[in-house]
Structure 1
Amino acid sequence: MAQNGYPALLAIDGRTAGRVSYKTRQTIRKRIEECFGRSKTTGGLRKSRSLGLAKLDFQFVLTMAAYNLI
């Protein structure tokens, strides 16, 4: 979330953070960001070891296909 946890220093005000649509968006955002985080840690996409767009595209597709199986 974009809130830092301190009541006096909230990055998002209560009108926005209290809405159901905001909470729904944050849940969806977490689900989307999770696959990119997993691909960086276990899929080896943090640092590219291959040169060329085609090889990197293949590594990305292979990593996301493996994540899809999970």
Structure 2
Amino acid sequence: MKVTPHVAQNTSGRRSAIDGRTTRHGGYVASQRIRKRIEEAFGWIKTVAGQDKTKFRGRDRVGWAFTFAAAAYNLVRLPKLMTETG
């Protein structure tokens, strides 16, 4: 399909799987910015909301707990988002 995944480029001096052909496009930069935003949410859900090791069994209950934690994250972020826009 000739698609390159937008994984993070290794810039610490080692060889990276992502070269300049991918990173030179503006879409790569935007993709990495959005990826960071998503990773922050998952990190918060795992550490603060306690979803690193769930207390529930079964897909329905675990899914409900994750949805509840994601809603809590949205409520925590809401004041900051409102000051940015308004």
TM-score by length of 1: 0.81
For structure 1, list consecutive stretches of 5 or more residues without a partner in the other structure. Answer: none
Cα displacement string for residues 30-57 of structure 1 (whole angstroms, at most 9, x for unaligned residues): 1112211110111111111112333222
For structure 2, list consecutive stretches of 5 or more residues without a partner in the other structure. Answer: 1-6, 77-86
Distance 1:34 1:25 in 2: 14
- Report deviation, 1:63: 0.6
Distance 1:50 1:12 in 2: 39
Report the counterpart of residue 17 of structure 1 in structure 2: 23
Report the counterpart of residue 54 of structure 2 in structure 1: 48
1:32 and 2:38 are equivalent in the alignment: yes
CA-atom RMSD in angstroms: 1.8
TM-score by length of 2: 0.68
Equivalent AA in structure 2 for residue 50 of structure 1: F
Instruction: Identify the structure with the greater helix proportion.
Output: 1
Q: Decide whether the 8 Å contact of 2:41 with 2:73 is kept in 1.
A: yes
Report the counterpart of residue 9 of structure 2 in structure 1: 3
Q: Which moved more, 1:27-36 or 1:49-58?
A: 49-58
Q: Decide whether the 8 Å contact of 1:3 with 1:11 is kept in 2.
A: yes
How many pairs align?
70
What is the identity percentage for the equivalent residue pairs of Structure 1 and Structure 2? 44
Q: Decide whether the 8 Å contact of 1:3 with 1:12 is kept in 2.
A: yes
Q: Decide whether the 8 Å contact of 2:9 with 2:17 is kept in 1.
A: yes
